[in-house]
């Protein structure tokens, strides 16, 4: 174990990283019991770090090397080791709180390899599988840290909520990904709406793209409805609170005339906090 000052420094750095890279989850931390909060800070910082690998490297091979470093680092946690990164230190220091299932952390790293592949998804089913692996899994890990075995009883709700949150996020970041030459809308969706991907890369909005966005948004809404149909333990609600923001984001994305290339889906932090607070109070998400 590290000394208290080093641990505090690592946790502070992780919190700043979550604030910068994953602000919805950062806002949800205020609803996490204080004793569990360090564990979720560590998890969210780790998740943000591996999610940003494609943007942090100049070529896929370098991304593969970085992800392998994270695999080795997570595997070393079983021996009580923490290697040279604040998120790794934080994960090591919170194992006693969260009992991290290391195979699930490694599975999350493995799922992020898909971000290094420039080939588009072939189908919505393939996209949803990816969304489950990269979004539902960290929600499940957070729920596990909060409530242990109780999280398993809510697995169906967590999986659906995670996929819905991921699909919403991918729609919101479509302009950013397009500017990087990356496209997460699947080929079967583009074909069904006769959309030329090059027009998306050029930042051109069209009625066909608007219909495609509406179709993905409708799927996200349906998944949210499925998730909310399940009764879940109050103890795991903080892990699901980011999904409570999907309705607002999806409403903006599907508003008449909305152009994601020239309009923002940002929502003020206080409005997101109020939404989360109301859901937390009601024991819903």
Tell me: do 27 and 129 sit in the same domain.
Answer: no
Say which CATH number the domain at 228 has: 1.10.600.10
- Joined together, the tokens standing for residue 54 give 């494609």
Residues 144-155 pLDDT 10s: 999 988 899 999
Task: Decide if 223 is inside a domain.
Answer: yes
CA distances from residue 28 to 20, 54, 137, 204 in whole angstroms, order as listed:
14, 26, 17, 34
Tell me: do 8 and 109 sit in the same domain.
Answer: yes
Choose among 222, 195, 191: nearest CA to 210: 195
Cα 99 from Cα 108, distance rounded (Å)? 16
How much is the average pLDDT of 164-191?
96
- Joined together, the tokens standing for residue 102 give 């290391």
State pTM to two decimals: 0.95
Alpha helix (H) residue ranges in 137-186: 137-147, 150-153, 155-172, 174-179
Cα 248 from Cα 264, distance rounded (Å)? 12
Cα 29 from Cα 209, distance rounded (Å)? 35
Local confidence band at 78 (pLDDT 50, 70, 90 cut-offs) = confident
DSSP 138: H
- Confidence (pLDDT) at 160: 98
Helices 246-253, 207-228: inter-axial angle, 10-degree rounding = 160
Tell me: do 145 and 227 sit in the same domain.
Answer: yes
Task: Decide if 251 is inside a domain.
Answer: yes
DSSP 112: G
CB distance 260 to 253 below 8 Å? yes
How much is the average pLDDT of 2-30?
90
Tell me: do 260 and 122 sit in the same domain.
Answer: yes
Total domains in the chain come to 2
- Confidence (pLDDT) at 3: 66
Buried b (16+ CB within 10 A) or exposed e, 148-172: eeebeebeebbbbbbbbbbbbbbbb
Alpha helix (H) residue ranges in 22-123: 23-28, 37-51, 53-56, 60-76, 86-93, 95-98, 102-111
Residues spanned by the domain of 99: 1-117
Q: Where are the beta strands (DSSP E) in the chain?
A: none
For the chain, the residue count is: 285
Cα 42 from Cα 17, distance rounded (Å)? 10
Tell me: do 24 and 90 sit in the same domain.
Answer: yes
Cα 87 from Cα 10, distance rounded (Å)? 7
Quote the percentage of the chain above a pLDDT of 90: 87
The separation between CA 194 and the C-alpha centre of its own chain, rounded to angstroms, equals 29
Task: Decide if 63 is inside a domain.
Answer: yes
Choose among 221, 126, 92: nearest CA to 164: 221
Residues 162-177 pLDDT 10s: 999 999 999 999 999 9
Tell me: do 172 and 241 sit in the same domain.
Answer: yes
3 vs 273, which has greater pLDDT? 273
């Amino acid at each position: 174990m590290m000394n208290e000052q080093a641990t505090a420094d690592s946790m502070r750095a992780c919190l700043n990283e979550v604030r910068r890279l994953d602000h919805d989850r950062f806002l949800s931390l205020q609803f996490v019991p204080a004793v569990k909060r360090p564990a979720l800070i560590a998890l969210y910082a780790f998740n943000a770090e591996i999610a940003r690998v494609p943007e942090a490297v100049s070529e896929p091979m370098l991304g593969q090397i970085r992800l392998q470093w994270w695999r080795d680092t997570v595997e070393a946690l079983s021996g009580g080791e923490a290697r040279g990164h604040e998120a790794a230190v934080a994960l090591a220091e919170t194992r006693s709180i969260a009992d991290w299932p290391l195979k699930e952390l490694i599975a999350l790293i493995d799922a992020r390899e898909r971000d290094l592949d420039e080939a588009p998804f072939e189908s919505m089913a393939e996209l949803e599988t990816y969304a489950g692996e990269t979004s539902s899994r960290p929600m499940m890990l957070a729920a596990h840290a909060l409530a242990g075995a109780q999280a398993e009883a809510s697995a169906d709700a967590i999986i659906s909520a995670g996929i819905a949150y991921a699909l919403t996020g991918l729609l919101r970041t479509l302009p950013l990904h397009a500017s990087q030459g990356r496209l997460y809308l699947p080929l079967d969706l583009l074909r069904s709406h006769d959309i030329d991907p090059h027009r998306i890369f050029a930042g051109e909005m069209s009625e066909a793209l608007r219909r495609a966005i509406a179709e993905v948004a409708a799927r996200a809404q349906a998944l949210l409805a499925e998730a909310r149909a399940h009764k879940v333990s109050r103890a795991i609600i903080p892990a699901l609170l980011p999904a409570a923001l999907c309705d607002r984001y999806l409403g903006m994305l599907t508003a008449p005339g909305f152009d994601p290339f020239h309009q923002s889906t940002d929502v003020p932090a206080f409005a997101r906090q109020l939404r989360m607070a109301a859901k937390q109070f009601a024991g819903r998400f």
